[in-house]
Amino acid sequence: MTYQYGRSRGAGLRGSGPGSHRAPDGQADGHSTQDAASTHNVTGTGNTSPPASAKERILTAAIDLYGRLGFDGVTVKEIAQAASVSAPLVIHHFGSKAGLRAACDAYVAEQFRRTKTESVRRGNLPRNVAHEAMAANRHLVKYLMRAFMEGGETIDAFFDQLVEDSLVYTSEAEEIGLVYPSRNPRHRAVVMLLQSFGSLILHRQLERHLGVSLLDDEPNPEGLDAYMATVLELYTQPVMNAEAFAELLAADAEAHTEATEPGSTQDRSPRS
């Protein structure tokens, strides 16, 4: 398989050590090039991975950087640097920057699929499936969030799969009395998923207000507790009194119809 992946070349060429991929230019830009390269083996199971081909290194570095800085925020040069290769090699392997992006999408999707089936095969509970997939590798989740923000067919398909899975899990949980039935389970699943991912995307605010960083560092326990407690409360006890809300809605509509001209479709806004 991957024997020496041409690092003999690197060593021979410029007699520095194997890990020394120095930027030839000044490279005043600070952010974590070798950091990205060092975290590349987080991907799979906990094996002590063989020294990772250049192509793999490029892929993982790209995913890491994309997740942290966004797709437009990273150049191929930076990716190449983080992977200890030259920029043209990135093009050589993936055709173009867009090709690299597509490869990242495929890789991440595959990774999540694998994690899911593994977790399911081990007989985990649904919520632990999600929990595991999430905790397993945060940088993949970060990448996913970026992909969600960008949109596109790949992520659409992924989301659809998530909805289907969620539907299955929820119906199972319904049978054992864990979750209550909904008037429209699919709609509920969609909205709940969106809310969850939305909170993840906006985790910056979550960190500022609850002190928990869901995506960046190892989350501190008390912050995580605060977040979990809040979400749990939101999901186990109602926020609003349905009858009072209906009353208010009716009164409001009446007030509107007498204040303004009638016939307009009334607004109904649930949020405070």
Q: Which helix (H) or strand (E) holds 187?
A: helix 185-201
Q: How far apart are CA 126 and CA 128, in angstroms?
A: 5
Minimum CB separation of residue 170 from its own copies in Å reads 5
Interface region with DNA, contact rule CB under 7 A, candidates 3-11, 135-143, 183-191, 261-269:
3-11
Residue 245 partner contact from its own copies, DNA, none using kind-dependent CB cut-offs of 5 to 8 Å: its own copies
Interface region with DNA, contact rule CB under 7 A, candidates 8-16, 128-136, 212-220, 264-272:
8-16
* Binding of DNA by 53 (CB under 7 A): yes
- Site for DNA (CB under 7 A): which residue of 70, 97, 190, 211? 97
- Cβ–Cβ contacts within 10 Å for residue 12, how many? 8
Contact by Cβ (8 Å): 162, 186? no
User: In degrees rounded to 5, what are phi and psi of residue 33?
Assistant: -70, -55
Q: Which is nearer to DNA, 79 or 108 (CB)?
A: 79
CA 207 to chain centre: 16
Q: Which is nearer to DNA, 8 or 266 (CB)?
A: 8
- Cβ–Cβ contacts within 10 Å for residue 63, how many? 28
Residue 4 partner contact from DNA, its own copies, none using kind-dependent CB cut-offs of 5 to 8 Å: DNA
Q: Which is nearer to DNA, 100 or 145 (CB)?
A: 100
Minimum CB separation of residue 14 from its own copies in Å reads 35
* Binding of DNA by 27 (CB under 7 A): no
Contact by Cβ (8 Å): 87, 77? yes
Question: What angle separates helix 87-94 from helix 54-69, to the nearest 10 degrees?
Answer: 100
Residue 98 partner contact from DNA, its own copies, none using kind-dependent CB cut-offs of 5 to 8 Å: DNA
Q: How far apart are CA 148 and CA 135, in angstroms?
A: 19
Can you give the C-alpha Rg of the chain in angstroms?
24
| Closest by CA position to 79, among listed 234, 94, 167 | 94
Q: Which is nearer to DNA, 52 or 214 (CB)?
A: 52
Q: Which is nearer to DNA, 92 or 131 (CB)?
A: 92
Q: How far apart are CA 171 and CA 189, in angstroms?
A: 11
* Binding of DNA by 16 (CB under 7 A): no
Q: Which is nearer to DNA, 62 or 215 (CB)?
A: 62
The residues that touch DNA, with contacts defined as CB under 7 A, are 1-10, 12-13, 18, 21, 24, 53-55, 74-77, 80, 84-89, 91-93, 96-98
